[in-house]
C-alpha cells in the first residue's frame, strides 16, 4: 500500500478476500455489455444532453491517455473540484484507469482548504472549473501555486485563463497491454474526513474496499441496470459518489442524472425528464422538496427511493416523505471513513422514521462503548467504534491522529454518540468530537477558532453549535474581545474569514460577545457551559 497509509492486517485481508468482499475489480471500469450496446444504453444525462456508455468509455480512455501524455502516472495525486457535470465523471474514470489518485474537494472549498489538500497529498494537479458563483477558481489555483511546491498542472473546465483547458487533455488511447497493471488493494482515491476537528484529514480508499462498498450498497438499495440515479448532492462527497451513488449506478449499468444544484426547481424537471428512480439528499433539503411538491407540475412518479443522510433527520419530516413524494424513504448514516448504515426498504415506518439504520455488511464489526470503554447496553448511549472491509485503518500521513482515533485492534472511533436497538439499528444522538454538523456540512470548530484569533480585536474565541430547526445546527462564535469598548462585529469576522479563503459554510452564523469565556478546571474554554448559557435546556423529544 502507498507510503503514509495504514494497511489492513494480512489475516483480516485474507478473510475479506475469502468471503468475497474484496475482489480483483478495479474502479473505473464499466459493464462490457452496456459499452457494447452503443446508442442503446445511456450512462449520463445532464440538463443539456446525454452520453452513452460507449461514449463515456471512449472519453475516459482518451482523457486517461491525455493525462499520461502530460506526465501524470500511477500514484500521483490530483485535487479534483468540479461541479456535477459529465466532465467530472469522465475525469473520475480517467484517473481511476491511470491509477492517478483523485482527492475530492467539495465545491464550497476555497484557497485555504485547497492549499491544505495540495500540501497533504503532494498533488501534482488541480482540476477545477473556471468560475462558480462568487469564486474564480483560476485565482484559487494562482494563490495555491504561489504558496506550495509541486502543483505542476492546473486543468480548467471552461475558460482556462493562463492554465490548460481540461478539453485539451486528450490523446489517442494506447493499447491496454502497454499499461502497468494496478493493484486492487492499493489506494484508488482520497475522500475527506468531515468528522475530525482540525482541517480535513485524507481518507485512503482502495479499489477493493470501494468497489465492495459500491456492489453491496447497490444490492441493498436494489440499484440495477434499470435504475436512474439523480446526483443532486456534490459528486465528490461519498454519499453521492458511492452509496451506491454515481459510481455504484454506473457499475450496475444504470443511468446517472447530474443536477447542477440540489434544489427542487433544478431537480424536479430532471426527475421527470430522465425518469429518475433514486436520489439522495441531506436533511435541510428535504422540507424544500416536500413543500415544492405542492406547487411543482413536474411528474415525480418514477421516484422509488429517496436516501437521506449526512445529519440528523427529524422524525416528523421523515414521516412526510413517503406520502408527499410517493417513494420509500431510506435513512443513511455514513461516513467518508467507511462504515455505512441504511434503513432497509422493507423496514416498518417506526424504524425508518426514528433510526439511522444498521450496517451495510456482515463484515462490519461494531462496538458501542461507554466513556470508560466498557460496552454500552442496548438503548444506552455510547460511542460507535467500527472496523470492517471498507473502513479505513488510518488517516493518510497522520500517525498522531491515528493513535487517538483507532484502538490497538484497529477499530475506528467515529466520535459519534449513538444508541443501538436490539435489532442493531442506530440512532445518532450526538458527537464527541468538536465538529458542528451544519445540515450535513461539517464545520471543524478548532480550525475556525484559530482563524478568528487573527482578528486583533479577538482575545479568545470558541465556536459552538446552536440548535436550529432547518439546519439542525448553526455555528455561533463566542468571542471575548480584547477591549470591551471595541468588540468585533459578525460581518467583519465573516469577511476576514472569507478573505483568508475559507469555505463559506465555515463562516460563523452568529456572534456572541462575552466579557469572559467560561473556563474548565484545567483552563480550557468550557464549551459545555457556553452551550448551556446560550441555549436553554429543551424538554426531551417524545416518541409516539
Q: In a 10 Å sphere around its CB, with 0-12 CB exposed, 13-18 middle and 19+ buried, how is residue 446 labelled? A: middle
Backbone angles phi, psi at 365, to 5 degrees: -100, 135
Strand pairing report for 305-309 and 328-335 = parallel
Q: Is 108 left (phi over 0), alpha (psi -120 to 50) or beta?
A: alpha
Which of 415, 481 has the CB closer to ligand OOB? 415
Work out how close the CB of 314 gets to ligand OOB at its nearest, in angstroms, rounded to a whole number: 10
Q: Which residue is nearest to ligand OOB (CB)?
A: 334
**Sequence-ordered list of residues with C-beta below 8 angstroms from that of 62, at least 6 positions apart, any chain:** 170, 171, 172, 173
Work out how close the CB of 357 gets to ligand OOB at its nearest, in angstroms, rounded to a whole number: 8
Work out how close the CB of 191 gets to ligand OOB at its nearest, in angstroms, rounded to a whole number: 7
Which of 354, 527 has the CB closer to ligand OOB? 354
Which of 138, 393 has the CB closer to ligand OOB? 393
Work out how close the CB of 65 gets to ligand OOB at its nearest, in angstroms, rounded to a whole number: 32
> 364 in helix, strand or coil?
coil
Q: Pull the grid cell for residue 307.
A: 436516501
Counting Cα atoms < 13 Å in the Cβ hemisphere of 199 gives 19
Work out how close the CB of 284 gets to ligand OOB at its nearest, in angstroms, rounded to a whole number: 12
Work out how close the CB of 54 gets to ligand OOB at its nearest, in angstroms, rounded to a whole number: 31
DSSP string for 476-541: EEEEEESSTTSPPPHHHHHHHHHHHT--GGGS-SEEEE-SS--B-TTSSB-HHHHHHHHSPPPPPP
Which of 98, 475 has the CB closer to ligand OOB? 475
Which of 76, 337 has the CB closer to ligand OOB? 337
CA distances from 312 to 23, 438, 508 (A): 34, 10, 20
Work out how close the CB of 226 gets to ligand OOB at its nearest, in angstroms, rounded to a whole number: 23
Which of 21, 412 has the CB closer to ligand OOB? 412
Work out how close the CB of 177 gets to ligand OOB at its nearest, in angstroms, rounded to a whole number: 37
Which of 54, 332 has the CB closer to ligand OOB? 332
Which of 66, 309 has the CB closer to ligand OOB? 309
Residues near ligand OOB, by CB under 6 A? 194-195, 238-239, 243, 309-312, 331-336, 340, 356, 414, 416, 428, 431, 437, 440, 442
Work out how close the CB of 440 gets to ligand OOB at its nearest, in angstroms, rounded to a whole number: 6
Work out how close the CB of 233 gets to ligand OOB at its nearest, in angstroms, rounded to a whole number: 9
> 349 in helix, strand or coil?
helix
Which of 136, 314 has the CB closer to ligand OOB? 314
Q: Pull the grid cell for residue 58.
A: 471512449
SS (H, E, C) 265-320: HHHHHHHHHHCCCEEEECCCHHHHHHHHHHHCCCCCCCCCEEEEECCCCCHHHHHH
Q: Is the distance from CB of 309 to CB of 282 less than 8 angstroms? A: yes
Please tell me the total number of residues recorded for the chain in this structure. Answer: 544
CB atoms within 10 A of CB 338: 26
Expressed in angstroms, the distance from the first to the final Cα of the chain is 50
Provide the strand spans (E) within 179-261. 187-192, 202-206, 228-231, 255-258
Which of 206, 331 has the CB closer to ligand OOB? 331
Which of 239, 395 has the CB closer to ligand OOB? 239
CB atoms within 10 A of CB 9: 12
> 135 in helix, strand or coil?
strand
Work out how close the CB of 164 gets to ligand OOB at its nearest, in angstroms, rounded to a whole number: 31
Work out how close the CB of 336 gets to ligand OOB at its nearest, in angstroms, rounded to a whole number: 4
Q: Measured at the alpha carbon of residue 431, what is the angle toward residues 430 and 436, in degrees to the nearest 5? A: 100
Which of 163, 190 has the CB closer to ligand OOB? 190
Measure the CA–CA gap between 345 and 491, rounded to whole angstroms.
45
Which of 312, 387 has the CB closer to ligand OOB? 312
CB atoms within 10 A of CB 184: 18
Work out how close the CB of 192 gets to ligand OOB at its nearest, in angstroms, rounded to a whole number: 7
Q: Is the distance from CB of 287 to CB of 470 less than 8 angstroms? A: yes
Amino acid at each position: 500500500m502507498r507510503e503514509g497509509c495504514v494497511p489492513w492486517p494480512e489475516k483480516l485481508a485474507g478473510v475479506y478476500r475469502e468471503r468475497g468482499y474484496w475482489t480483483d475489480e478495479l474502479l473505473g471500469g464499466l459493464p462490457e455489455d452496456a459499452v457494447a450496446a452503443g446508442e442503446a444504453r445511456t450512462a449520463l444525462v445532464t440538463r443539456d444532453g446525454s452520453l452513452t456508455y460507449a461514449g463515456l468509455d471512449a472519453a475516459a480512455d482518451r482523457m486517461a491517455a491525455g493525462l499520461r501524455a502530460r506526465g501524470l502516472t500511477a500514484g500521483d495525486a490530483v485535487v479534483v473540484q468540479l461541479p456535477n457535470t459529465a466532465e467530472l465523471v469522465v475525469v473520475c474514470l480517467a484517473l481511476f484507469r491511470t491509477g492517478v489518485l483523485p482527492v475530492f474537494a467539495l465545491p464550497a472549498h476555497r484557497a485555504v482548504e485547497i492549499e491544505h489538500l495540495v500540501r497533504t497529498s503532494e498533488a501534482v494537479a488541480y482540476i477545477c472549473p473556471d468560475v462558480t458563483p462568487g469564486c474564480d477558481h483560476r485565482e484559487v489555483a494562482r494563490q495555491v501555486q504561489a504558496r506550495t511546491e509541486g502543483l505542476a498542472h492546473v486543468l480548467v473546465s471552461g475558460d482556462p485563463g493562463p492554465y490548460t483547458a481540461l478539453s485539451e487533455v486528450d490523446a489517442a488511447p494506447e493499447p491496454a497491454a502497454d499499461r502497468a497493471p494496478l493493484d486492487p488493494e492499493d489506494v484508488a482515491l482520497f475522500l475527506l474526513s468531515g468528522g475530525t476537528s482540525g482541517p480535513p484529514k485524507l481518507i485512503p480508499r482502495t479499489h477493493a474496499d470501494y468497489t465492495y462498498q459500491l456492489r453491496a450498497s447497490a444490492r441493498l438499495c436494489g440499484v440495477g441496470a434499470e435504475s436512474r440515479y439523480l446526483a443532486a448532492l456534490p459528486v465528490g462527497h461519498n454519499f453521492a459518489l458511492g452509496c451506491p451513488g454515481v459510481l455504484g449506478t454506473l457499475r450496475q449499468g444504470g443511468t446517472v442524472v447530474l443536477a447542477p444544484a440540489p434544489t427542487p426547481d433544478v431537480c424536479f424537471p430532471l426527475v421527470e425528464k430522465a425518469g429518475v428512480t433514486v436520489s439522495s439528499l441531506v436533511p435541510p433539503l428535504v422540507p424544500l422538496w416536500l413543500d415544492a411538491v405542492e406547487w411543482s407540475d413536474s411528474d415525480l412518479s418514477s421516484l422509488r427511493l429517496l436516501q437521506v443522510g449526512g445529519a440528523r433527520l427529524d422524525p416528523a419530516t421523515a414521516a412526510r416523505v413517503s406520502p408527499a413524494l410517493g417513494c420509500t424513504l431510506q435513512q443513511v448514516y455514513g461516513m467518508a471513513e467507511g462504515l455505512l448504515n441504511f434503513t432497509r426498504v422493507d423496514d416498518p415506518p417506526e424504524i425508518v422514521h426514528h433510526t439511522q439504520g444498521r450496517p451495510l455488511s456482515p463484515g462490519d464489526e461494531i462496538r458501542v462503548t461507554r466513556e470508560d470503554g466498557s460496552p454500552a447496553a442496548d438503548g444506552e448511549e455510547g460511542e460507535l467504534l467500527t472496523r470492517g472491509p471498507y473502513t479505513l485503518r488510518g488517516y493518510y500521513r497522520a500517525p498522531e491522529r491515528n493513535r487517538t482515533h483507532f484502538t490497538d485492534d484497529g477499530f475506528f472511533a467515529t466520535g459519534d454518540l449513538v444508541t443501538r436497538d436490539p435489532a442493531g439499528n442506530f440512532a445518532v444522538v450526538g458527537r464527541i468530537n468538536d465538529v458542528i454538523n451544519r445540515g450535513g456540512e461539517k464545520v471543524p470548530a478548532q480550525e475556525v477558532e484559530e482563524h478568528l484569533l487573527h482578528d486583533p480585536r479577538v482575545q479568545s474565541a470558541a465556536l459552538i453549535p446552536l440548535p436550529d430547526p432547518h439546519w439542525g445546527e448553526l455555528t455561533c462564535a463566542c468571542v471575548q474581545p480584547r477591549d470591551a469598548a471595541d468588540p468585533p462585529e459578525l460581518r467583519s469576522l465573516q469577511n476576514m474569514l472569507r478573505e483568508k479563503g475559507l469555505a463559506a459554510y465555515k463562516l460563523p452564523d452568529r456572534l456572541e460577545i462575552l466579557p469572559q469565556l467560561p473556563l474548565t478546571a484545567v483552563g480550557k474554554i468550557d464549551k459545555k457551559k457556553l452551550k448551556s448559557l446560550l441555549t436553554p435546556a429543551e424538554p426531551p423529544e417524545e416518541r409516539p
